[in-house]
């Protein structure tokens, strides 16, 4: 991981309609190749921030600057949400291929890219299964492969494992770390789980308030590769405690 910023958010505010201000004056940077987690109460503006970072929404004021991009132009992004949003009439392979079709790619390079990504997420052998023939965890793996198949430089995850059971979720977190380590990609992940945020990320950002501001940025110094056993460490407990305290302070306002 390098420490040069991949993107820089400067004084970004967002207002929906005429006066519903959701985000106020956010400034932060995401390190290139880093893993940042975002937590905060429901409805605070986390998904709005994801959309701003991905260039799907323009900030009402302020700037988002992406390194090595013409100013204001977002880089190639991969997106993944709580719901897998797979097309039920397409196989796993055909779902993963979709972004490449949209980009107008065809032929052998498409086949290679799709198969490489399916292998990376651990789904070789399930290419021809339809979504209804996959478990929830497998469907999320397909969604992750689809988000990454065009090799985006920024991966935006909005509660990607929120619909999974606790054990599958833990496993998927570990898988995500393995995949992230194998790719040159900067990750920004929204999660409701403090445990997940601390175990996966380099930094946990807490936002709160109406409009939301950054309340805390907690640097996680746990070594990598991270393992679930690290949840028992003092560093983990201290970080999780700091995140919880920040959230409780917001809830107590």
Ligand X SMILES: Nc1ncnc2c1ncn2[C@@H]1O[C@H](COP(=O)(O)OP(=O)(O)OP(=O)(O)O)[C@@H](O)[C@H]1O
User: Residues 6, 32, 33, 45: which binds ligand X (CB under 6 A)?
Assistant: 45
Q: Is 152 in the site for ligand X (CB under 6 A)?
A: no
Phi (first) and psi of residue 193, to 5 degrees: -100, 120
Q: Which helix (H) or strand (E) holds 79?
A: strand 77-81
Q: Is 146 in the site for ligand X (CB under 6 A)?
A: no
Q: Tokens at residue 149, please?
A: 């198949």
> Are the CB atoms for 206 and 26 separated by under 8 Å?
no
Phi (first) and psi of residue 154, to 5 degrees: -130, 125
Least distance to ligand X from the beta carbon of 150, Å?
25
- What is the total count of residues that contact ligand X (CB under 6 A)? 10
Q: Which is nearer to ligand X, 25 or 69 (CB)?
A: 25
Least distance to Mg ion from the beta carbon of 162, Å?
9
Q: Which is nearer to Mg ion, 43 or 72 (CB)?
A: 43
User: Residues 38, 39, 47, 156: which binds Mg ion (CB under 5 A)?
Assistant: 47
Q: What is the dihedral of CA 163, 166, 170, 172, to 10 degrees?
A: -30
Mask: binding to ligand X, 23-42, rule CB under 6 A, as x and -?
A: -------------------x
Q: Is 22 in the site for ligand X (CB under 6 A)?
A: yes
Rounded Cα gap, residues 118 and 105, in angstroms: 18
């Amino acid at each position: 991981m390098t420490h040069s910023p991949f993107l820089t958010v400067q004084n970004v505010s967002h207002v929906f309609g005429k006066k519903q201000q959701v985000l106020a004056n956010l400034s932060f940077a995401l390190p290139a190749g880093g893993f940042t987690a975002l937590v905060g109460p429901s409805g605070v503006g986390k998904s709005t921030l994801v959309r701003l970072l991905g260039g799907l929404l323009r900030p009402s004021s302020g700037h988002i600057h992406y390194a090595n991009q013409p100013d204001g132009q977002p880089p190639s992004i991969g997106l993944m949400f709580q719901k897998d949003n797979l097309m039920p009439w397409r196989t796993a392979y055909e779902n993963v291929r979709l972004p490449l079709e949209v980009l107008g790619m065809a032929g052998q390079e498409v086949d290679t890219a799709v198969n490489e990504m399916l292998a990376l997420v651990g789904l070789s052998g399930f290419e021809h299964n339809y979504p209804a023939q996959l478990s929830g965890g497998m469907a999320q793996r397909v969604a992750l492969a689809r988000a990454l198949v065009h090799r985006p430089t920024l991966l935006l995850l909005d509660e990607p494992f929120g619909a999974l059971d606790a054990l599958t979720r833990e496993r998927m977190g570990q898988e995500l770390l393995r995949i992230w380590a194998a790719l040159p990609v900067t990750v920004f992940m929204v999660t409701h789980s403090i445990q997940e945020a601390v175990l996966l990320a380099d930094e946990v950002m807490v936002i709160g308030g109406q409009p939301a501001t950054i309340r805390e940025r907690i640097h996680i110094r746990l070594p990598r590769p991270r393992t679930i056993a690290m949840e028992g460490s003092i560093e983990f407990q201290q970080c999780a405690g700091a995140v919880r305290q920040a959230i409780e302070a917001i809830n107590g306002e």
